[in-house]
Structure 1
Amino acid sequence: MKLKQAVTGIAALACMSTAAHAQSAGTLYFTTGWFHLAPQSSSKPLTITSLGGSPTNITEPNTGASLDSADTIGFTAGYFVTDHIATEFVLGVPPKFDLQGTGSFEPFGTLGSAKQWSPTLLFKYYFNEPTAAFRPYLGLGVSRIWFTDEKITNNAFLANVLHGPTSVSTDSSWEPVFNAGFTYAFAKHWFAGLSISYLPLSTTAKLTTAATTPVGVLTATSQTKIKLNPIVSYVNIGYRF
């Protein structure tokens, strides 16, 4: 009788352990946490493309800009299609990036800012069994990138370099996302996670200026291509159903 009770107890504990850590086919989960975006940025020199409606191709040598890192809150929703394959939708509160001058623009410091939107769809492969507490994974996906609230905020830069009030626009694009990370289940429904992603991202910033010149105010357009290539870390806590 005692042996039977012991075997029953061990089986019950095994079932409890399986229930506590299962991330199997049909599991739906949500996470929230903190994104840190660290651009590996550089830019092409500023090029004046037109002045007063006439095309030009004047490149300003030794000019450029880079982006500071940024932090924001993130959210994901995912679904295990099989015991090892999950799809995940990722969205964050748009982080604000400050644009810093480089080269001859460096003395001006912060030139402007913009907010980045990058909703992402990931496909992830989880290693280990669905009953394991620790599950590393690799992911691949696609992100739609665009910017809002682009603006030049440095008055000295506006007056001495662009020579007038300036509006900014940027390209939007689809970009691949390379992802790796792990989750650790510490309760039946709750888990924590860490992931690192890389996006080979670049955008063209286009500037339109009402430039003050010796012959009056002329519309000038200029542009620069900025490489961001951010490395994105995500520390999170999640709940699964």
Structure 2
Amino acid sequence: MRKTLFTASVLALALAAPLAQAHQAGDVILRAGAITVDPREDSSDIYVGALNTSVPGTKATLDSNTQLGLNFAYMVTDKVGIELLAATPFSHDVGVAGMPGPFASLNGKLGELKHLPPTLSVVYYPLDTRSAFQPYVGAGINYTWFFDDKLTSEAEGKGFSGLDMKDSWGFAAQVGMDYMLTDNIMVNAQVRYIDIDTTGTTNYGGAKVKVDVDVDPMVYMVGLGYKF
């Protein structure tokens, strides 16, 4: 009889545990982890002022980068929250590809840039608030600030000078999930799409070189969270 009562008590506690782990209105959630920005860039043909034309088949390239990601969320209701995405500065190599014939030597790494992509979103948790597993969807607005744009010494040696990337405003969407390990600690994973459109300019041979780039990265983050 005692064994039966003990077993029943353990099962009752196990079933009741998720009830204490749900997100609730007024909760503040801090998440931190590894975040990767993976550009899916699509650029216009590169305009070369020295030729007074855009060169067909040319494009700008950007590589991926991983940094420390931070999320700050406030639950307005049990199911709706406001979330801010932040991170340490991302660093990307900027390249040129597709330059033909006598300009083929210009292909390759052109320079480097850094950016910060603060993103403010509204998130919605569709499942019962008693569940320890909490998937969510979100949408919001992103501002991407490009800074510390600079050419490589090799690019400068080829006749380039100066590098500038235009800041961007755009739409952002995400899906993610929290799984509560305790009343306060959670595992988090999330995937985002961010609309980032920029224009890059430099100079070659004393004339402007310009390219429009739809960066449009997929952003992946995994980490831990703490609920206050």
TM-score between both structures, scaled by the size of structure 2: 0.86
CA apart distance, 1:106: 8.0
Corresponding letter in the other structure for 2:167: S
Corresponding letter in the other structure for 1:148: F
3-state DSSP of counterpart to 1:18: helix
Counterpart of 1:225 in structure 2 is 212
CA apart distance, 1:12: 7.6
3-state DSSP of counterpart to 2:45: coil
- Determine the C-alpha separation between the residues in 1 that align with 2:10 and 2:144: 52
Over aligned residue pairs, what C-alpha RMSD do you find?
A: 2.5
Counterpart of 1:134 in structure 2 is 133
CA apart distance, 1:102: 1.4
Cα pair 2:46 2:60 within 8 Å, conserved: no
CA apart distance, 1:17: 4.0
**How do 1:73-88 residues align onto structure 2 when only pairs under 5 Å count?**
73-88=68-83
- 5+ residue gaps, structure 1, are 212-218
- Determine the C-alpha separation between the residues in 2 that align with 1:118 and 1:78: 16
Cα pair 2:18 2:132 within 8 Å, conserved: no
- Determine the C-alpha separation between the residues in 2 that align with 1:201 and 1:39: 9
Among candidates 140, 158, 164, match of residue 156 of structure 2: 158
3-state DSSP of counterpart to 1:24: coil
Cα pair 2:188 2:223 within 8 Å, conserved: yes
1:229/1:106 CA distance change after superposition, 3 Å: farther
- Determine the C-alpha separation between the residues in 1 that align with 2:82 and 2:72: 8
- Determine the C-alpha separation between the residues in 1 that align with 2:109 and 2:66: 18
1:124/1:34 CA distance change after superposition, 3 Å: same
Q: Kindly, what percent of the aligned residue pairs are identical?
A: 27
CA apart distance, 1:61: 3.4
Number of aligned residues: 219
- Determine the C-alpha separation between the residues in 1 that align with 2:105 and 2:40: 17
- 5+ residue gaps, structure 2, are none
- Determine the C-alpha separation between the residues in 1 that align with 2:198 and 2:84: 23
Counterpart of 1:101 in structure 2 is 96
Q: Computing the radius of gyration over CA atoms, which structure comes out larger, 1 or 2?
A: 1
Cα pair 2:177 2:188 within 8 Å, conserved: yes
CA apart distance, 1:131: 1.8
Counterpart of 1:182 in structure 2 is 177
Q: Does 1:235 align with 2:207?
A: no
- Determine the C-alpha separation between the residues in 2 that align with 1:190 and 1:225: 43
- Determine the C-alpha separation between the residues in 2 that align with 1:34 and 1:175: 23
